Structure 1
Amino acid sequence: MSLNWAAAVGAGIVAGTLATAIQLFLWWAFLDALPWMLYRDARLTAAILMGREILPPPATFDWTVMMVATLIHFAISITYSLILACLISRLEMALSLLAGSIFGLILYGINMYGLTLIFPWFWEARDWITILAHIVFGISMAGTYKAFARQEL
């Protein structure tokens, strides 16, 4: 099976949404930190384009920050999805899900340790919830890609 671009883009959107939903749930369930953590992470992400000046506390709601963070989040999710889709396009579902979980762990390392060399403010997001969200992203992206690609055949 060759790479299905539409399925990869759709899978990136689904996986980015699901991973965010899981992260929000875990923040609420284990840290009782909503909405503060959401606002903080939105500012961390939006600062990639908007600059460091949006980082200082308080982490409050801002429409511009939320929109920029959302655009960045989905652009990155789709990009990562295209990469994983290339890697798993010829694999069966079970191996794709395993590859997705490993890919999610690798993305955590890249995002939380590699990219902090350029965007050092992301060190704040290094925690078990973020690790789990990355694993969920990889698994859900792999499964969704396989399901979407199969439907189009």
Structure 2
Amino acid sequence: MELHMHSHRWEARLPDWAAATAAGFGAGGILMLLEIIMAAATGRDPWLMSHMIAAMVLGWDALQTSGYSLGIVTWALVVHYVLGMAFGVMLAALIAPFHFDSSTGMALLAGAVFGLLLYVLDFYGMSGAFTWFRELRGWSTAIGHIVFGMSAAYIYLKLERPDQAR
């Protein structure tokens, strides 16, 4: 039995960008499903989050309606997945050079911390520009973002090919 000690000091090492993008996309889908399930479980409109996300592009008009709307859902999906992929790339840009991909546990921990920081950024930082997100602050949303980070890290860990990173 051989014991491997992994240093988590920074090293010039690029992530696998394709794996990072796919991880963000997949984790974005998981978060979206969680948001719909949590909304339905608490009696809220399951399409409320779609209206809030679409309003980032469409403005206040997207918040004036409720229920399902193909245009609102389309814009919400575009914004949600673009942000998910961008955040997946950011997470991978931290995982690779610090060797957080040395174990599943380390990757999940890095993803959980990233998700929590992302929650704080989204719902306390960005809510200055998108004030309608303030009403979603709370444990369920924080847990959803932690799950996003952990999912992105796990998917990245399973898809990455370090020898292919450029």
Length-normalised TM-score, structure 2: 0.82
Among candidates 52, 55, 59, match of residue 51 of structure 1: 59
Identity %: 31
Return the structure number with greater helix share.
1
Over aligned residue pairs, what C-alpha RMSD do you find? 1.7
Query: Is residue 5 of structure 1 aligned with residue 17 of structure 2?
Result: yes
Counterpart of 1:115?
Answer: 126
Letter aligned with residue 37 of structure 2: F
Check 1:110–1:50 CA distance in 2 against 1; reply closer, same or farther (3 A cut).
Answer: same
Q: Would you say how many aligned residue pairs link Structure 1 and Structure 2?
A: 148
Q: How far apart, in 1, do the equivalents of 2:28 and 2:72 lie? A: 18
| Structure 1 segment 1-153 matched on structure 2, within 5 A | 2-29=14-41, 31-33=42-44, 36=45, 38-56=46-64, 58-89=65-96, 90-91=99-100, 92=102, 93-150=104-161
Letter aligned with residue 130 of structure 2: F
Gaps of 5+ in 2: 1-12
- Deviation >6 Å, runs of 4+: none
Once the two structures are TM-superposed, the CA of residue 151 in structure 1 deviates from its matched residue by 9.2
Letter aligned with residue 125 of structure 1: L
> Secondary structure of the residue that 1:95 maps to in structure 2?
helix
> Secondary structure of the residue that 1:13 maps to in structure 2?
helix
Once the two structures are TM-superposed, the CA of residue 96 in structure 1 deviates from its matched residue by 1.4
Asked whether the equivalents of residues 16 and 161 of structure 2 are also in contact (C-alpha less than 8 Å), the reply is no
Once the two structures are TM-superposed, the CA of residue 150 in structure 1 deviates from its matched residue by 4.3
User: Deviations for 1:70-122, whole angstroms, at most 9, x for unmatched residues?
Assistant: 00000000111100001012221321110100110000000011011111111
Length-normalised TM-score, structure 1: 0.89
> Secondary structure of the residue that 1:72 maps to in structure 2?
helix
Gaps of 5+ in 1: none
Kindly name which structure, 1 or 2, has the bigger radius of gyration based on alpha carbons: 2
